[in-house]
Structure 1
Amino acid sequence: MTAPSTEVPTAALPTVVIGAGPIGLAAAAHLVERGLEPLVLEAGDRAGSAVREWSHVRLFSTWAELVDPAAEKLLAPTGWTAPDGATYPTGGDWAEKYLQPLAEVLDDKLRFGARVTGVSRLGRDRVVDADREQQPFTIHVLNADGSEERITARAVIDASGTWSAPSPIGGDGLPALGERAAADRISYRVPDLKDSAVRARYAGRRTAVIGSGASAFTALAYLAELAKEAPGTHAVWILRRGIGGSTFGGGEADQLPARGALGLAAKAAVDEGYADAVTGFRTSAVEKAGEQVVLAAEDGRRLDPVDEVIVLTGLRPDLSFVAELRLSLDERLQAPAELSPLIDPNVHSCGTVYPHGAGELSHPEKDVYLVGMKSYGRAPTFLAMTGYEQVRSVAAALAGDQEAAERVELTLPETGVCGGAGLFDEPDATKSEAGGGCCAAPTTLRIGIGAPAASGGC
């Protein structure tokens, strides 16, 4: 392909949005509302490709919290009817009843099978200062047919999320020894037990569940239900920290009731003997033991063999394709530096993450924004409505409406938890380990039938 001229009038170029998930599509809707031209690039073959991979999981936000206002305005003329705002959709519902219709309205503003492999300033790597801000962005794209393409843009909104990069088993953030070799026994997703093949994988078997957030709660609750029908099904819940008052979330105090109920379901799985909890366990190795695997900890402990391992220790942002941009990222969370103090789980284990927008999401590279799950880096507690507020503010900033960009138009519900998690949560073991937060120090404890829950905590 012929390289484009460096003399490009940037005002005539589109704003490229990376990712056609909930936040990316909302970003496009807000850009349209502002009279700006979006171009959404999605690596998958349809809208909400990542969401569809967890289509069996029910969200703990209601429909009323999952539909972006600007998107709803675009949908209204088509005869689209919003689902009952008080009900809780599954990921599949969200994709089919909202994301897909929205994608159809945006139509030619979306391109599927377009994987972004790099973003930079046209003719400028990250070292070059000269006329940098006068140059448009260049987005390198690998299409589904294998062809490569270069697209120029006036601004870039990266809403690619973190779904493609789950964190490994290792307590040090790296893969445990033997983790790759045991890949056939390890999953990094909540299992869909309605699928007969998946169900057969876990029925009547011992499964280790590693993680301490809503995804781990969901997996534990699913396995407990399976155990009631398939004798011999048992879970071993592995936590890197201790059990305290915050372990199972906010319960009835959570202003997101379904999230509170999810924590209570996980607690019931333990209390009723369908799961054992092993705390303060930081996995260092995965060892083969015939057809099973044994997990070994940094402190020398080794657990009894298990048949399967479900790893739900968090998600990470893929920053490889934005490496040529000048981004200001927190060294711990890999989130925008101005946003990081608001979401840092070492400090903010309790309470609400404040609404935020373009100001907190800006970088030294002008007109580049990481939004949605991508903006949270490795931090938990992300809510869809937080992302919708982000892109409303970003679109306003790109349109030159600074007053609207700085205005807060969102009131978030209280988390009702200490160390709680949000809609797309995947917290790891970092909470309170640096002296912040309010959770108990790690201890070693096994909870089974008739055993009391640990005291302490918050």
Structure 2
Amino acid sequence: MRTVVVIGAGPQGLAAAAHLLERGLEPLVCEQGPGPGSSVAEWGHVRLFSPWSELVDPAAARLLSASGWVPPATGFPTGRQWIEQYLAPLAALLRERIMYGARVTGVARLGRDLTVDEGRPTQPFVVHAVTEQSEEHRVLARAVIDASGTWLTPNPAGAEGIPAIGEARARAHGLVVHRIPDSDEVNALAGQHVVVVGNGHSAATAITLLGRVVQRDPATRVTWVVRRGTVGNALGGGSGDELPERGALGQRAKQLVADGRVSLVTGFRTERCATEGSDVVLHAGDGRALEPASRVFVLTGFRPDLGFLSEVRLGLDPRLQAPSRVASEVDPNAHSCGSIRATGAADLAHPDPGFYVVGAKSYGRAPTFLAVTGFEQVRSVVAEIAGDRAGAERVELVLPDTGVCGGSGLFDAPGDAGRPRSPGRV
């Protein structure tokens, strides 16, 4: 059997398909959205902090070049440009091997549920998917590569990882949103009070966009909410970051606070979202409440969707929900500068041989995943599936240093600069 099912037609899923073809295997890509990079399209207005040289997979480039494709010039594309100039042309070459509008509902071993041991490793995988027309598909595969990402499962504002009281209602009314606003949206909020919850790169991007509105209209008020005692250096290493745009992004957000254009509220753990007319008020567990806001952007990271994998034997870290060997590398409770290494097939393997999670989903709830990390993952995984153990074990990537030693600060205490810091999500 040569078929390998790839879940997701994003950057890592399409790269996996290119590697599989190059190895003489047959990919079938199941994509829930209407086109390639559907999740990327939802933040298409955002500029990446990785340059073009780190946003194109080598196997994909070889496939594209054979059709006359010319690599993009140097620079930092937006998500929309990434799709138009790379992902869409790649998907066009793979079109006969991609099912769009196909949501995977289950993965299992043929004829075996989760409890059955006998003959399990020798059975192919069976993948169930349903289309937008409610057509059901059942596909047999020698291996499965889950590159579905985490975009569709954002973390809530609630501090315990559960939506705060009233959060679902506020979200239904459009008062709480889990996305980075575009320029039209932030401009429409001029003169109003806006809250951003989170202290990762997405939050920094939103803060920077809103800061420009404050500069044009000083009546606009922006409150930046973080759960820890201080932002610390979780937003990047500034001039020490080997991805300069990543370092500069965090510094711009911090400067807006220093200039008084953005109000920073630390140690605020949201317990309740109270809808008051056309506004929403965030309440913390310690009794504090923010002023009514016209919009709350919750940018607290993402988590993996494991629901359709209930019949696959997974080896996941119980905290991060990432493969156990990967979790030890990306654990925000322990990670320090330069300590994250490239991960390959051996790190991504699960108790059910032939099943792999790659891309952002392989980091579970841990933050800051780079495209080049995913490209190296799929290269190694596909080599392993093809029987090239030496190729799978070889490491062909050195990740850029963040310039960050420590991170966002102690969980409860602001300041205390002399103690080690933990770079976790807010």
Deviation at 1:244, TM superposition (A): 5.7
Q: Distance in 2 between matches of 1:131 and 1:418?
A: 47
Could you say which residue in structure 2 is the equivalent of 1:388?
375
**Residue 14 of structure 1 aligns to which amino acid in structure 2?**
T
Q: Structure 1, unaligned stretches of length 5 or more?
A: 1-11, 421-430, 432-438, 445-453
Map 1:11-410 onto structure 2 (within 5 A).
Answer: 12-85=1-74, 87-183=75-171, 184=173, 185-193=175-183, 195=184, 198-199=185-186, 201-243=188-230, 245-410=232-397
CA 1:68–1:419 in 2, change beyond 3 Å: closer, same or farther? farther
Could you say which residue in structure 2 is the equivalent of 1:3?
none
Deviation at 1:243, TM superposition (A): 2.1
Q: Distance in 2 between matches of 1:440 and 1:148?
A: 49
**SS of residue in 1 equivalent to 2:93:** helix
**Residue 188 of structure 1 aligns to which amino acid in structure 2?**
H
CA contact (8 A) 1:345 1:419 kept: no
CA contact (8 A) 2:5 2:29 kept: yes
**Residue 190 of structure 1 aligns to which amino acid in structure 2?**
I
Q: Distance in 1 between matches of 2:51 and 2:186?
A: 28
Could you say which residue in structure 2 is the equivalent of 1:442?
412
Q: Distance in 2 between matches of 1:177 and 1:292?
A: 16
Q: Distance in 2 between matches of 1:33 and 1:247?
A: 39
CA contact (8 A) 2:237 2:402 kept: yes
CA contact (8 A) 2:186 2:210 kept: no
**SS of residue in 2 equivalent to 1:166:** coil
**SS of residue in 2 equivalent to 1:102:** helix
Deviation at 1:14, TM superposition (A): 0.5
What's the % identity of the aligned pairs?
54
Deviation at 1:253, TM superposition (A): 1.1
Q: Distance in 1 between matches of 2:196 and 2:413?
A: 18
CA 1:334–1:342 in 2, change beyond 3 Å: closer, same or farther? same
Q: Structure 2, unaligned stretches of length 5 or more?
A: 422-426
Q: Deviation per CA, 1:10-58, whole angstroms, max 9, x where unpaired?
A: xx24000000000000111111111111111101111101001100000
**SS of residue in 1 equivalent to 2:337:** coil
Deviation at 1:136, TM superposition (A): 1.0
Q: Distance in 2 between matches of 1:59 and 1:419?
A: 24
Q: Distance in 2 between matches of 1:248 and 1:71?
A: 31
Size of the aligned set, in residue pairs, is 417
CA contact (8 A) 1:352 1:412 kept: no
Deviation at 1:79, TM superposition (A): 1.2
CA contact (8 A) 1:59 1:91 kept: yes
Deviation at 1:201, TM superposition (A): 4.2
Q: Distance in 1 between matches of 2:333 and 2:14?
A: 31
**Residue 100 of structure 2 aligns to which amino acid in structure 1?**
F
Q: Distance in 2 between matches of 1:253 and 1:302?
A: 37
CA 1:268–1:391 in 2, change beyond 3 Å: closer, same or farther? same
**Residue 182 of structure 2 aligns to which amino acid in structure 1?**
D
Per the normalisation by structure 2, the TM-score is 0.95
**Residue 36 of structure 2 aligns to which amino acid in structure 1?**
A
CA contact (8 A) 1:189 1:310 kept: yes
Could you say which residue in structure 2 is the equivalent of 1:456?
417
**SS of residue in 2 equivalent to 1:339:** helix
CA contact (8 A) 2:166 2:273 kept: yes
Alpha-carbon RMSD: 1.5
Per the normalisation by structure 1, the TM-score is 0.88
